[in-house]
Amino acid sequence: MKTIGVFDSGLGGLSVLHALLLEMPDARYVYLADGAYTPYGGRSTEQVAERAHRITQRLHQDYAVDALVVACNTATAMAIESLRQEHPDWPIVGVEPALKPAAALSRSGHIGVLATRGTVESERFARLRARVESESRHPLHFNCQACDGLADAIERGDEATTRVLCARYLDALRANANTPAPMDTLVLGCTHYPFAADILQALSGPDVRLVETGAPVARRTRTVLGLPEASAVVSGTPQITLLSTGDPAPLAQASTRWLGTTVGATHLDL
């Protein structure tokens, strides 16, 4: 049985863990929420990279994981290249805003992107955007919005603030659009944002399609591990270890709410 390590600054990576469980239900999972340092979106590249390397080393040494999923767009943007350089023989899968899938889905070419400031302003995101635009057969307009505070509000379970911020940033997307074509696709560029998908869909309207990254990341992870596709019927309880560098209680509660399984969480000094 393969063991897969997953980490995020907090609870948002549970959306990726959920996709991994659907793709590889018979694997063993170790999920680490860096609650003591969440959110990553407002931190410097040096701070995020230092935490990512420390967490990776701990999961590699103490939990013998066979592959690592960096379930955080900001950490992927700021640290995954150096992580792969440090661990060249170990599969490390990152997440990034689903610009290419969105480009394939969009008919108008007007695609909104909601992400953390750390992701939107990163060189990795700029390269991704340029590559997708250059490969497209049709004109694309990516309308990007940094969503300060949104991941934190979702993390806290503050629905009122989440709703206010979602409305604010969608309004900003509309105000900053410099194309007459209607936005028909919205990229959720942070792993926290799928947990606000109902709010974002209601505010965007039925003609806007929301795109997230969990399923493609799960398929990629299965591929690099050389695992077959899961059978249609899976029995048994998922094997999940939950760790948090902060208070473990919110992680345990979120896993019950978002994964549909009750798993205890443990505090980890790191």
pLDDT for res 175: 92
Quick check: 257 and 40 in contact, CB under 8 A? Answer: no
Mean per-residue pLDDT pooled into runs of 10, the chain (270 residues): 94 94 93 92 90 96 95 92 94 93 94 93 92 91 95 91 98 90 94 94 96 92 90 67 95 88 90
161: enclosing H helix or E strand: helix 159-176
pLDDT for res 231: 60
Two tokens at 147? Answer: 């969503």
Cα separation, 245 vs 248, in Å, equals 8
Q: What are the extents of the domains in the chain?
A: 3-95+215-267, 99-212
Sheet holding 209-211, edge to edge: 141-146, 110-115, 183-188, 209-211
Q: 143 — phi, psi (to 5°)?
A: -105, 105
Other CB atoms closer than 10 Å to residue 46's CB: what's the count? 10
Catalytic residue among 144, 147, 166, 190, which? Answer: 190
Q: Which CATH class is domain 99-212?
A: alpha beta
The fold adopted by the segment(s) 3-95+215-267 is Rossmann fold (3.40.50)
pLDDT for res 137: 86
Is-catalytic flag, 72?
Answer: yes
Q: Same CATH fold, 99-212 and 3-95+215-267?
A: yes
pLDDT for res 101: 92
Q: 241 — phi, psi (to 5°)?
A: -110, 125
Helix, strand, coil percent values for the chain (each to nearest 5): 45, 20, 35
16: enclosing H helix or E strand: helix 14-23
Give the CA angle between residues 114, 46, 154 to the nearest 5°: 35
pLDDT for res 118: 86
Catalytic residue among 72, 144, 147, 166, which? Answer: 72
Cα separation, 244 vs 146, in Å, equals 26
Number of residues assigned to the chain: 270
pTM here is 0.86
Cα separation, 179 vs 159, in Å, equals 32
Paired with 265 in beta bridges are 242
Q: Return the SS3 of 159.
A: helix
Cα separation, 8 vs 196, in Å, equals 17
Is-catalytic flag, 144?
Answer: no
Two tokens at 58? Answer: 């701990």
pLDDT for res 113: 97
pLDDT for res 238: 78
Greatest C-alpha distance within the chain:
54
